[in-house]
Protein backbone atom coordinates (compact mmCIF):
# COMPACT_ATOMS: atom_id res chain seq x y z
CA UNK A 1 0.00 0.00 0.00
CA UNK A 2 2.86 2.38 0.74
CA UNK A 3 4.00 2.20 -2.89
CA UNK A 4 0.62 2.60 -4.59
CA UNK A 5 -0.54 5.47 -2.36
CA UNK A 6 2.59 7.61 -2.42
CA UNK A 7 3.00 10.64 -4.66
CA UNK A 8 6.04 9.15 -6.43
CA UNK A 9 8.54 11.83 -5.45
CA UNK A 10 11.22 9.96 -7.42
CA UNK A 11 9.81 11.05 -10.77
CA UNK A 12 11.55 14.38 -10.26
CA UNK A 13 14.95 12.86 -9.50
CA UNK A 14 16.65 9.53 -10.01
CA UNK A 15 16.56 7.44 -6.83
CA UNK A 16 19.60 5.50 -8.07
CA UNK A 17 21.73 8.64 -8.19
CA UNK A 18 22.87 8.28 -4.60
CA UNK A 19 25.83 10.66 -4.54
CA UNK A 20 26.71 11.25 -0.90
CA UNK A 21 23.25 10.39 0.47
CA UNK A 22 23.10 8.46 3.74
CA UNK A 23 23.57 4.73 3.06
CA UNK A 24 20.94 3.51 5.53
CA UNK A 25 18.33 6.03 4.41
CA UNK A 26 19.00 5.12 0.77
CA UNK A 27 19.29 1.40 1.59
CA UNK A 28 22.79 1.23 0.09
CA UNK A 29 24.39 -2.06 1.14
CA UNK A 30 27.81 -1.54 -0.46
CA UNK A 31 29.56 1.12 -2.53
CA UNK A 32 32.57 1.06 -4.77
CA UNK A 33 33.88 4.02 -6.77
CA UNK A 34 32.05 2.90 -9.97
CA UNK A 35 29.13 0.77 -8.71
CA UNK A 36 26.93 0.07 -5.68
CA UNK A 37 24.24 -2.24 -4.27
CA UNK A 38 20.90 -0.88 -3.10
CA UNK A 39 17.99 -2.76 -1.53
CA UNK A 40 14.80 -2.61 -3.56
CA UNK A 41 12.34 -0.60 -1.44
CA UNK A 42 9.42 -2.51 -3.02
CA UNK A 43 10.88 -6.02 -3.32
CA UNK A 44 9.58 -8.89 -5.40
CA UNK A 45 11.08 -11.28 -2.86
CA UNK A 46 12.94 -11.01 0.43
CA UNK A 47 16.46 -9.63 -0.16
CA UNK A 48 15.72 -8.18 -3.62
CA UNK A 49 18.56 -5.77 -4.46
CA UNK A 50 19.74 -3.70 -7.40
CA UNK A 51 23.34 -3.33 -8.55
CA UNK A 52 23.99 -0.16 -10.52
CA UNK A 53 26.74 2.08 -11.81
CA UNK A 54 27.36 5.32 -9.93
CA UNK A 55 26.98 7.19 -13.22
CA UNK A 56 23.50 8.05 -14.45
CA UNK A 57 23.43 6.11 -17.74
CA UNK A 58 20.66 4.21 -19.45
CA UNK A 59 22.29 1.52 -21.59
CA UNK A 60 24.66 -1.41 -21.31
CA UNK A 61 26.75 -0.17 -24.21
CA UNK A 62 27.49 3.07 -22.33
CA UNK A 63 29.08 1.19 -19.41
CA UNK A 64 32.82 1.58 -19.05
CA UNK A 65 34.85 -1.62 -18.64
CA UNK A 66 35.62 -0.80 -15.00
CA UNK A 67 31.90 -0.33 -14.28
CA UNK A 68 31.14 -3.73 -15.81
CA UNK A 69 33.89 -5.34 -13.71
CA UNK A 70 32.64 -3.75 -10.48
CA UNK A 71 28.97 -4.52 -11.17
CA UNK A 72 29.70 -8.19 -11.93
CA UNK A 73 32.08 -8.37 -8.96
CA UNK A 74 29.32 -7.14 -6.65
CA UNK A 75 26.87 -9.64 -8.14
CA UNK A 76 29.41 -12.42 -7.57
CA UNK A 77 29.82 -11.41 -3.91
CA UNK A 78 26.05 -11.11 -3.46
CA UNK A 79 25.57 -14.60 -4.88
CA UNK A 80 28.01 -16.03 -2.32
CA UNK A 81 26.34 -14.18 0.56
CA UNK A 82 22.85 -15.26 -0.48
CA UNK A 83 23.94 -18.89 -0.83
CA UNK A 84 25.95 -19.00 2.43
CA UNK A 85 23.98 -16.77 4.78
CA UNK A 86 20.46 -16.75 3.36
CA UNK A 87 20.49 -20.39 2.18
CA UNK A 88 18.77 -19.52 -1.12
CA UNK A 89 17.70 -22.25 -3.53
CA UNK A 90 18.31 -20.00 -6.53
CA UNK A 91 18.72 -16.44 -7.80
CA UNK A 92 17.04 -14.39 -10.49
CA UNK A 93 19.58 -11.97 -11.97
CA UNK A 94 18.47 -9.65 -14.76
CA UNK A 95 18.36 -6.27 -16.43
CA UNK A 96 15.20 -4.70 -17.84
CA UNK A 97 16.15 -2.27 -20.61
CA UNK A 98 13.35 -0.04 -21.86
CA UNK A 99 9.72 0.21 -20.84
CA UNK A 100 8.70 -2.60 -23.21
CA UNK A 101 11.04 -4.92 -21.27
CA UNK A 102 9.54 -3.92 -17.93
CA UNK A 103 11.99 -1.25 -16.81
CA UNK A 104 10.41 0.88 -14.09
CA UNK A 105 13.36 3.27 -14.28
CA UNK A 106 14.70 3.53 -17.82
CA UNK A 107 17.19 6.34 -17.25
CA UNK A 108 19.60 4.58 -14.87
CA UNK A 109 20.58 1.04 -15.81
CA UNK A 110 20.62 -1.49 -12.98
CA UNK A 111 20.76 -5.24 -12.42
CA UNK A 112 18.12 -6.91 -10.26
CA UNK A 113 19.31 -9.72 -8.00
CA UNK A 114 16.38 -11.57 -6.47
CA UNK A 115 16.96 -14.42 -4.00
CA UNK A 116 14.58 -17.36 -4.45
CA UNK A 117 13.57 -20.27 -2.24
CA UNK A 118 11.40 -23.24 -3.05
CA UNK A 119 7.88 -22.30 -2.02
CA UNK A 120 8.56 -18.56 -1.82
CA UNK A 121 5.63 -17.81 -4.09
CA UNK A 122 2.16 -18.60 -2.91
CA UNK A 123 -1.47 -17.88 -3.67
CA UNK A 124 -1.40 -14.29 -2.37
CA UNK A 125 -0.23 -12.62 -5.63
CA UNK A 126 -2.85 -14.55 -7.60
CA UNK A 127 -5.83 -14.26 -5.24
CA UNK A 128 -5.20 -10.96 -3.45
CA UNK A 129 -2.66 -9.19 -5.72
CA UNK A 130 -0.45 -9.00 -2.63
CA UNK A 131 3.16 -10.05 -2.01
CA UNK A 132 4.21 -11.58 1.29
CA UNK A 133 7.72 -10.62 2.38
CA UNK A 134 8.90 -12.78 5.29
CA UNK A 135 11.44 -10.36 6.78
CA UNK A 136 11.38 -6.60 7.29
CA UNK A 137 13.37 -4.66 4.69
CA UNK A 138 15.72 -3.09 7.25
CA UNK A 139 16.45 -6.46 8.91
CA UNK A 140 17.64 -7.84 5.58
CA UNK A 141 19.53 -4.59 4.90
CA UNK A 142 21.42 -4.89 8.22
CA UNK A 143 22.39 -8.52 7.49
CA UNK A 144 23.70 -7.70 4.01
CA UNK A 145 25.47 -4.51 5.10
CA UNK A 146 27.21 -6.29 7.98
CA UNK A 147 28.35 -9.17 5.75
CA UNK A 148 29.81 -6.83 3.12
CA UNK A 149 31.64 -4.78 5.74
CA UNK A 150 33.06 -7.88 7.47
CA UNK A 151 34.19 -9.74 4.39
CA UNK A 152 34.70 -7.30 1.56
CA UNK A 153 35.80 -4.14 3.35
Q: How far apart (Å, rounded) are the C-alpha atoms in residues 131 and 48?
A: 13
Residue 136 designated active-site:
no
Q: Which one from 8, 108, 110, 112 is the annotated catalytic residue?
A: 110
Q: List strand residue ranges (DSSP E) for 27-152, in order.
A: 28-31, 35-39, 49-53, 90-94, 111-116
Contact 111, 52 (CB under 8 A): yes
Q: How far apart (Å, rounded) are the C-alpha atoms in residues 76 and 109?
A: 18
Helix (H, G, I), strand (E, B) or coil at 77: helix
Contact 3, 42 (CB under 8 A): yes
Strand order in the sheet with 35-39: 28-31, 35-39, 49-53, 111-116, 90-94
Active-site residues: which are they?
A: 110
Amino acid sequence: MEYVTQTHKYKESCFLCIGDKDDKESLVVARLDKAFIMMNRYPYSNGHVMVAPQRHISSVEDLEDEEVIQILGLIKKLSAIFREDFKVDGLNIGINIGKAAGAGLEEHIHVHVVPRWFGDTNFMPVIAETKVISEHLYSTYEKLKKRFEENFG
